[in-house]
Each structure stands twice: as C-alpha cells, then as structure tokens.
Amino acid sequence: MVTIKKDFIPASNDNRPGYAMTPAYITVHNTANTAKGADAKMHANYVKNPSTSESWHYTVDDSVIYQHLPIDENGWHAGDGTNGTGNRKSIGIEICENADGDFEKATANAQWLIRKLMKENNIPLKHVVPHKKWSGKECPRKLLDQWSSFINGISSFNTPPKESSPTYPLPSGVIKLTSPYRKGTNVLQLQKALAALHFYPDKGAKNNGIDGVYGPKTANAVKRFQLMNGLTADGIYGPKTKAKLKSKLK
C-alpha cells in the first residue's frame, strides 16, 4: 500500500474555495517541475502557501501520496473557469516528475490511486481525463503521448504497487546441456523461474528437482516451456527464452 498523507490546505486560504463537489471525473496532471526535491511533500507545502492561487486534491510521487483537499470540495486546477466542469466536478491529481524521483513508479502509484478513487466514487474509466481536456493545456505533458497505455494501466491494475510479489531474476547469456553439467546460481535462478510457471525440472523429486544443475531434466523443462510458448524447442536457454520467461512472470 502506498501511504496517503492528509495535509489539507488551510480553510482560510484563497485557493481552498470550499465549494461542495460530487466528483464525476478524475483529472491527471504533471507537475512540470523537474527540480530535485520537487516531490509530493514539497508540493504539499507549496499548495498550503497562502500566496498560491491554484489547488488540487492529490500529489503523487514515487513513494508517497499527499492529499491537499477533501474530495467533496473543489480545487482550482483545470483551467476551465470558476464554473467549469474540470474545476467543479473533478478530482485533481498531480504526478511528480522531480529529477531525483522514479517517474514510472510515481505513475504506477497514481494509477493505483485512480483505481481506488474510481471504485470509491463510482467514476467510470472514461471519466479519467488529462488536464488538456478542460483547457487545452499540454498537461500531463509526460503522459499525453502515451495516454491510452496510461489508461490501460489503470484498468489492468489489480494489486497495489507496493504489495511486493516475488521476483525472479533471470540469468543472461546461454545455458545449455554440457558435459559436465553446468552448475551454479544462474542455473538455480532459471530453475526457480521455470518452476514459478509450473515447468519443474523434476516434479515430485526433492525440491522439484531445483538443484542448480543443468542436467537433462532441466533442459527438458526449458524445452517444454519453449514448446508451450511458440519458441524453438531446443532446450537451450538464451535471450528469446529469457524474454518470454520475463513476460510470463510479470
């Protein structure tokens, strides 16, 4: 779970207008601030400053989410005027692009947040929109040219990004049946990855045959995997088999 820290703009600020809102849309922005340290916390402080005129609901970086406004109140982030639908009916989310942050991670965290907000507020995916929709501004500038994959990422998001699933490092290079048999960590990694996809070197044997030795049974597991995945079934582990394993283990 990514932590959402509530750090609301003081009610006395001009940028907290306090109009009641029933959110019908989610508007996505990029901060357009690439400075080091321009993370969610920094934006939380910025938006609380009484001289700041704009406001939005959440800022997301690669490790945390700050909430600046309750979602039943509007903010000024869409650039479509005092009575604009963007400003008055949408939840504004800024995704950080600070140089010392991981933008992909921040984007994944935003996708997780959007999914949660969609569920909680009954907002359909087609109402998740770029800032550009409301005002024509080139925002979110880093996501506009990949908007459909950003949207696809929301709908296919089934687990929170911080919930770690086991990862399977895969060796590079070629591993094949040799005499004597190749042994070592590389082979072990490969066997574990294959086993995670139910291609065991020796199902039912001790530890399903996962022993770090590339013998005929492991070569056969590779061969079965290749056969089932449209690859040349030669029992030789190389770049193509690696790529396919990687895509299956996602």
The CB-of-137 to Zn ion minimum distance in angstroms stands at 6
Report the residue number, 65 or 219, with the smaller CB distance to Zn ion: 65
HSE-up of residue 10 (Cα within 13 Å, Cβ side): 10
Report the residue number, 115 or 131, with the smaller CB distance to Zn ion: 131
Transcribe 192-245 into DSSP letters: HHHHHTT--SSTTSGGGG-SSEE-HHHHHHHHHHHHHTTS--SS-B-HHHHHHH
Report the residue number, 93 or 221, with the smaller CB distance to Zn ion: 93
HSE-up of residue 190 (Cα within 13 Å, Cβ side): 34
Chain centroid to Cα 71, Å, comes to: 22
The phi, psi pair for 155, rounded to 5°, reads -70, -25
The CB-of-61 to Zn ion minimum distance in angstroms stands at 16
Q: Which two tokens stand for residue 41?
A: 């916390």
Report the residue number, 65 or 139, with the smaller CB distance to Zn ion: 139
- The single-letter DSSP state of residue 59 is E
The CB-of-25 to Zn ion minimum distance in angstroms stands at 13
The CB-of-131 to Zn ion minimum distance in angstroms stands at 3
The CB-of-28 to Zn ion minimum distance in angstroms stands at 8
- The single-letter DSSP state of residue 181 is P
Report the residue number, 129 or 139, with the smaller CB distance to Zn ion: 139
Report the residue number, 64 or 93, with the smaller CB distance to Zn ion: 93
Distance CA 200, CA 1 (A): 32
The phi, psi pair for 26, rounded to 5°, reads -125, 125
The CB-of-91 to Zn ion minimum distance in angstroms stands at 13
CB distance 56 to 69 below 8 Å: yes
Distance CA 197, CA 145 (A): 34
Report the residue number, 139 or 222, with the smaller CB distance to Zn ion: 139
Distance CA 54, CA 34 (A): 19
Where does this chain bind Zn ion (CB under 5 A)?
A: 29, 131, 139
Distance CA 132, CA 163 (A): 32
The CB-of-9 to Zn ion minimum distance in angstroms stands at 17
